[in-house]
Amino acid sequence: MNRSTFVYVAYIRTTPEKLWSALTDPATMKEYWFGMHQESDWLPGSAWKLVFADGRVADAGEIVEADPPRRLVIKWRNEFKPELKTEGYSRCTMELAPEKDTVKLTITHVMEQGDSRFIEAVSGGWPKIVSNLKSLLETGQTALTR
């Protein structure tokens, strides 16, 4: 089957519990996700959405799997760009693995179609978001602003 995949790996000097909290706490997310935040109760089958600072829904879907603080899987669809929304749902897997005094964060974002414009879009966004997340957890400040 033809698919589009983006994988991003970062090593963050923190604990799995602190990283999980940063990935799921709306107030913390706003700090590193350029004012956006996610809303969910983080249980399998629960609704999930990524919300712009002005309240518009950017992306939405559902929690497929949640195993704190090790693994989070989200069924994810863009909601604000018609050309991306028509591609349907992607699958985003976040895996947290302790390695010495760091946590290896692996984000795998997959769309079950080749040449996905959505995967192309997230491939530009994830590095910025994870860089900010890493900086925030390690130094208390984000690296980038929009």
Decide if 111 is inside a domain: yes
Q: pLDDT tens-digit profile of 50-86?
A: 999 999 999 999 999 999 999 999 999 999 999 999 9
CB-count exposure of residue 8 (10 Å: 0-12, 13-18, 19+): middle
Domain count, the chain: 1
43-63 b/e (C-beta count within 10 Å ≥ 16 → b): eeeeebbbbeeeeeeebbbbb
Residues contacting 42, CB < 8 A, separation 6+: 24, 63, 66, 68, 72
What's the whole-number mean pLDDT along residues 92-107?
A: 97
Decide if 82 is inside a domain: yes
Decide if 144 is inside a domain: no
* Long-range CB contact pairs, 59-67, < 8 A, 24+: 61/89, 64/91, 66/42
Q: Could you give the CA distance from residue 29 to residue 97 in angstroms, rounded to a whole number? A: 20
Q: Which domain holds residue 8?
A: 4-139
Residue 97: is its pLDDT beyond 70? yes
Residue 89: is its pLDDT beyond 80? yes
Q: What pLDDT does 1 receive?
A: 63
Q: Could you give the CA distance from residue 116 to residue 137 in angstroms, rounded to a whole number? A: 31
Q: What pLDDT does 57 receive?
A: 98
Q: What pLDDT does 85 receive?
A: 97
Q: What pLDDT does 144 receive?
A: 85
Decide if 25 is inside a domain: yes
What's the whole-number mean pLDDT along residues 97-116?
A: 97
Percent of the chain with pLDDT over 70: 99
Decide if 45 is inside a domain: yes
Residue 18: is its pLDDT beyond 80? yes
Neighbours of 78 (CB within 10 A): 24
CATH number of the domain to which 84 belongs: 3.30.530.20
* CA–centroid distance for 97 within its chain: 16
What's the whole-number mean pLDDT along residues 101-129?
A: 97
The token duo for 144 is: 């980038």
Q: pLDDT tens-digit profile of 24-48?
A: 999 999 999 999 999 999 999 999 9
Decide if 77 is inside a domain: yes
Is the pTM of the predicted complex or chain greater than 0.85? yes
Mean of per-residue pLDDT scores for the chain: 96
**Residue 125 near residue 146, CB atoms below 8 Å:** no
The token duo for 142 is: 């984000």
